[in-house]
Structures are given as C-alpha cells and as structure tokens.
Amino acid sequence: MKRVLIVGAGMTGSLCAALLRKVSGTLYLAVWDKAGDSGGRMTTASSPHNPLCTADLGAQYVTCTPHYAKKHQIFYDELLAHGILKPLTSPIEGMMMKEGDCNFVAPQGISSVVKHYLKQSGAEVYLRHCVTQINLRNGKWEVFKETGSPEQFDLVVLTIPVPQILQLQGDFANLISECQRQQLESVSYSSRYALGLFYEAGTKIDVPWAGQYITSNPCIRFVSIDNKKRNIESSEIGPSLVIHTTVPFGVTHLEHSIKDVQELILQQLENILPGLPQPVAIKCQKWRHSQDGEKEEKGRATTVMGIYIVPGLGLDESKILSHLLSKEVL
C-alpha cells in the first residue's frame, strides 16, 4: 500500500486528501499540520466561554465566479447539499461584486469546509506535527517533524505557504532546481492581523450591516458581525465580531507584541464603532502570510521527484491535481 503524506490541513491539503481518496481507496493517507486545529487560513476560532460562539478569523466567504461555477460546479453543489455552504444573504457594505459572482458563507464556520473534506478523505490527521526536514532514503521520503521519530512516505504533497516550504531542510532543499527556487522565491504575501471579539448571549450590537469594508482608517480594513454574516443569530449564543487590519498596519506591526497590537486595533475600533459592549474574550491572530499573493501562489505548483509543491491551490486546478496525483499513486 502506498503511503502518502499531505503537509498542511488547510483548504488545499484537505481537498487534495479527498481527491486522492477518490482515485485510490487503498492508499495510506496522512495529513500533518503544525497548528492545533485544521483549517489553516480558513480558521474558525471559538470563545473560551462558549465553544458555540465562533468567529472566522481568516477567509470570510467563498466567491464563486461564473468561470469557477462552470469548472467546479460539483464542489459547490456538494458543499451546498451538505449545508456546509449557504448563499451569503446578509448585507456587506463596500463589498466589490462583479457580474455573475455568487458568494457563500459557512454557517458552522469557514473551517467546516476543510473539516468536511478531511472527513471525506478518511485520512489520518495529525495536528501539532511541524515538518522540518525531508530526506531521500532508499527511494522513499523520510519526513522529520519537530518532535518524535521521522516517518517514510512514497509521496509527499506540500500545501504550506511558500516561505515555509523554502525553510524545509534536508535533501529536498538540494533537489529543488535553481529555476524552481527562483519561481518560489518570487511568490509574495501580504501580512495583516485579525481580531475576534466574543460576547455574552443576549448582547446587542446594533448596526444595519453584517460586514463593512472600511476605507478611511489606517488600521482597520474590514469589520463583520460574524454570526450575522453567517445567518446564525441566536438568543442563546452571544454575537462575535471580526476585525481585519489593513496590510500597511499588518506590515508595520508584524514583529510587535500581540498584546500591543490588540490594544491599537481596539483603540481604532472605538473610532469606528463607538460604545461597543465589553467582550468576554478576545483572540488576536497574526497572518504573516495572508491572502494577497494568492494568484502568484497558485501559479507556482511544481514537482520535485515524488514531492508535489502545491501551495494555495484550494479549489482551483483541483481536477488537474487529482489527475497528476492519480498517475503517480495508482
């Protein structure tokens, strides 16, 4: 039985796992992620006081353009049929909509999309497994993690952001050609922070929108009443608020302490939404590798022997990917 390791339990890794399972039911499939939960940049955080009070700190909604609607209709149909995605119906002020675009939200939180594919794949998911080194040993890939013994695989799929791929040590680093390295090094990412504010049940946040893009503040770019955005308002679960900073703010404060950054964002929030109630919990998330270089990231899929480097593919090119992998795997 072939052993396949997918590094990264985000959108790309989970979909790769589900697609691989479709092409071969007998594979041993493992997914390793360094984080404590699956989701990656599609993460959903919970209030420490109530796990049902959640907030999407990364991706907010999934946009289906007419092009992708044609190309990936089966993915959307399946996610809609399972209730994982629902059309976005709440008002998002300042949102750029192109003709024919359709936006979807995930009522159970955006990470539920990733969890759905992981479950479908039947892969063994190992969290807090940070890959550090990949060596070639007797024709197999020996993969090292921060703690514990290395393991051997026939095929490795890297879905982690490019700068993290370039940090990997071992034979893998020497096997990347100069041209591949240059291509990977040209991938750029922006950085920003996200803040999740969690409130007690019954708290009222009285605004006419579910989300708002802000253009007049140097720190804050986007605010959403996350439960309202997802149409899951309830009298038993408190509301949650999500704030995304601007990229210039994120870049300037990238190495500052989370506590200081959180304080600065909260001060600016007071200018935008004065008199907000006091949250019961706050989570501040640094996105060192945020989404803006996404298109660049997608163009950089490449292969080094049995290692597939597919950062940021997400739903895109998934059919090609499954084809590519099935040849190797079957």
279 in contact with ligand FAD (CB under 6 A): no
* Minimum distance, C-beta of residue 305 to ligand FAD, in the bound complex (Å): 19
Output the six-digit token pair for 120. 């479908």
111 touches ligand FAD by CB under 6 A: no
For ligand FAD, which is the closer residue by CB, 131 or 307?
A: 131
Stretch that binds ligand FAD, among 159-167, 179-187, 209-217, 268-276 (CB under 6 A): 159-167
- Ramachandran region of residue 302, left (φ > 0), alpha (ψ -120 to 50) or beta? beta
Q: Does 115 bind ligand FAD (CB under 6 A)?
A: no
Our finding on whether 287 is near ligand FAD (CB under 6 A) is yes
Interacting residues of 167 by C-beta distance below 8 A, sequence separation 6+: none
Q: 192-211: which residues touch ligand FAD (CB under 6 A)?
A: 192, 194
For position 11 contacting ligand FAD by CB under 6 A, the verdict is yes
Locate the DSSP E strands across 2-119.
3-7, 28-32, 44-47, 50-56, 62-64, 86-87, 92-93, 102-105
Task: Find the binder of ligand FAD among 5, 17, 21, 33 (CB under 6 A).
Answer: 33
> How far from the centroid of its chain's Cα atoms is residue 229's Cα?
18
Binding of ligand FAD by 32 (CB under 6 A): yes
CB of 7 vs ligand FAD, minimal distance in Å: 5
When asked if residue 12 is in the footprint of ligand FAD (CB under 6 A), the reply is: yes
Q: Is 206 in contact with 169 (CB distance < 8 Å)?
A: no
| SS3 of the chain: helix, strand, coil, percent, to 5 | 30, 30, 40
What is the spatial order of strands in the sheet that 3-7 belongs to?
A: 124-126, 28-32, 3-7, 155-158, 307-309, 302-304
Q: Could you tell me if 40 and 27 are in contact, meaning their C-beta atoms sit under 8 angstroms apart?
A: no
**Cβ at position 158, least distance to ligand FAD in Å:** 9
Cβ distance 118 to 38 under 8 Å? yes
Q: Return the residue matching tokens 């989300």.
A: 211
CA 88 to chain centre: 19
Q: Does 53 bind ligand FAD (CB under 6 A)?
A: no
Confirm or reject binding of residue 131 to ligand FAD (CB under 6 A).
yes
Q: Which of 136, 194, 186 is nearest to 163 (CA)?
A: 186
The mark string for 55-94 relative to ligand FAD (x by CB under 6 A, - otherwise) is ---xxxxx--------------------------------
Q: Is 121 in the site for ligand FAD (CB under 6 A)?
A: no
Q: Is 160 in the site for ligand FAD (CB under 6 A)?
A: yes
217-246: contacts with ligand FAD (CB under 6 A) = 244
User: Which CB atom, from 203 or from 268, has the smaller least distance to ligand FAD?
Assistant: 268
Do residues 49 and 42 lie in contact, with contact meaning Cβ atoms separated by under 8 Å? no
Residue 10 is a binding residue for ligand FAD (CB under 6 A)? yes
By CB under 6 A, tell whether 13 contacts ligand FAD.
yes
The residue within the footprint of ligand FAD, chosen from 5, 6, 8, 121 (CB under 6 A), is: 8
Minimum distance of ligand FAD from residue 278's CB (angstroms): 25
# of chain residues touching ligand FAD (CB under 6 A): 35
d(CA 85, CA 287): 24
Q: Name the residue with tokens 């192109």.
A: 98
Q: Is 304 helix (H, G, I), strand (E, B) or coil?
A: strand
> Which residues of this protein are in contact with ligand FAD, per CB under 6 A?
7-13, 32-35, 40-42, 58-62, 130-131, 159-161, 164, 192, 194, 244, 287, 290-291, 294, 311-312, 314
